[in-house]
Structure 1
Amino acid sequence: MKRLPSFSSASVLAAVATLFTTSCMAPRAITSSGKVTPRGEFRVGGNQAFNIPTETIGKTGAAVKEAASQLSSQDKVQYSELVDKLQVAALAYVIDPVQPAADLYVRYGALPRLDVGYKYAFGSHVFDAMYQFMGTTGTPESPGGAAGSLYGSIGLQFATQRAKLPSIPYLDDIDGLLRFRANRQDVLVPVVFSRSFGQEEEVGAISFGAVYTHTFLRYGFDPRNIYKSGSNTELLPTLPEQKRDFSSYGAFANVKIGYRYAYVIPAFAMYYQNYGTYQLLNNQTAKLKGFTFIPSIGLQFRIPNLKK
């Protein structure tokens, strides 16, 4: 099978149609610092991020949009390379969508060096924990370290969601033609270091680190009106459920700015992933890989331990 057109300005313009549509995906913007939530305290907040994957933009360009509109209007579709392009576009979008991504979260300090959290990403449910292996565990009201202290932590995040194409015209056309279905689970492991602004991050911190993610995907195609090439009577067989998994490797930085109870957190993360080889209809395959850039901005509120 031929490779699809690569990342280009035309592809970017066509992909703009997806900018205002949110689909389900585990959040990968890292806004935490190396200091976990102190025991008995809560942190609540929200983030607005934007997922910008180079491979998906390259596979959902103007030519794909035109092909989706053309084929969806036909009562009988003859299999061709255009059908392959639509399959790859659907897979790329579910694996790594071009989308704004919002989330709301709450974290609680369960132990002196361990906090746990839940995050709702509008369709994706995320559970995680972080362990602090470096730095003090005090609070701004009861500091245990000097201003400018260094902190470090490691986390584990698990997310699950039913993946689907969003309801916008050309993706609706693809979904109606291919009857695409998918679900995914994501495991994320960040290692975070931070330098405190003031004692115990009283006025914020600058944070940086590395992150590893692993994604488990199930997908399939069940078309009802795609016929084998050259035939008007023999339907193309359904692609049964396929299982794939892939790793992503990333780096990130964020800045936490505020005072004691409220903070603004701008952040940036970058990932590289080889998504692997995917089975398509008619015994075709496609390989996907690329970079993903995730700028974000968030608000965080600290609720101190009132019992203390």
Structure 2
Amino acid sequence: MKTENAIKVTNIKKSYGKKPVVQGVSFNVKKGEIFGLLGPNGAGKTTTLKVITTLLRQDEGTVLVNGFNTLTQGRKVRQQFSITGQTAAIDEELSARENLLIFGRLNGLTGAEAQTRANELLLDFDLSNSADQALATFSGGMRRRLDLAISLIGRPSILFLDEPTTGLDPRTRKQMWQAIQKLVSRGTTVLLTTQYLEEADSLADRIALIDHGRMITVGTPSELKQQIGGMQMRVEITNRQKLSQAEAIIKDVLSLPVSIDDRVLTTLLDNIKLQQVPQVLAQLQKMRISYTNLTIGTPSLDDVFMKLTVGKN
């Protein structure tokens, strides 16, 4: 069945009892793209993902996966994708190669086909040298790469990644990013949920932002940043005891809200407020408040997240 979209979600609704969890969510995932699904805890991301993967039935609306309807063609839908979660679905008593061979046979491959596919995946995910070692010797990143390799045994056209890099160190996270981008370069479509906004910013072609079960916005990371407009000023105050005073100066001069993270003060600027930044710096100098790392640039995806969502009640 030919279709431009790998996934088409149209006005889905889902309630648990009388509590609405997903309220009219719609979005499309194009073939061959990485699509990020973001939102605060309790926003409805997991429920939406479960509906798309047929683990839950929606109360209203339709979901098409490669053109197949999740309500009436569930078996066909499940043949279109694989899913990788936060925890590895691997047998600790087997080696990486043995795990891959077993999952290959479970996916209908012959013994020879499973062997060939296992070798391909071990090479792709840089696990060849450790293929026959006990999994007790594997790091968290190696286990996660193995889990991702296992999910690709059957060459699914769509891959769901539910917070795949949670708990990994930054270096291992980047290795996983590279592996995901390699998959997409070969034609796989990826729907990604993540708690790391820099991950979505780096990986996703487009992002859907959900809050309280409702769709807030959809767009590229750049488009989302443009929605909140303007520029961002970040200034790090040297003396922590001067933070409150510095915050008061910025609020007084710019009449804007200020966020504080450690010793860094951040505020969003429009074109008019941007021209008043020298006044802020003059006041800081006048009050002998020293600062470092003053930057003015475009807002981050974190700013978009904080501006457009309100989080769980």
Normalised to the residue count of structure 2, the TM-score between the two structures is 0.22
Q: Select the structure that is richer in helix.
A: 2
Normalised to the residue count of structure 1, the TM-score between the two structures is 0.23
Q: Select the structure that is richer in strand.
A: 1
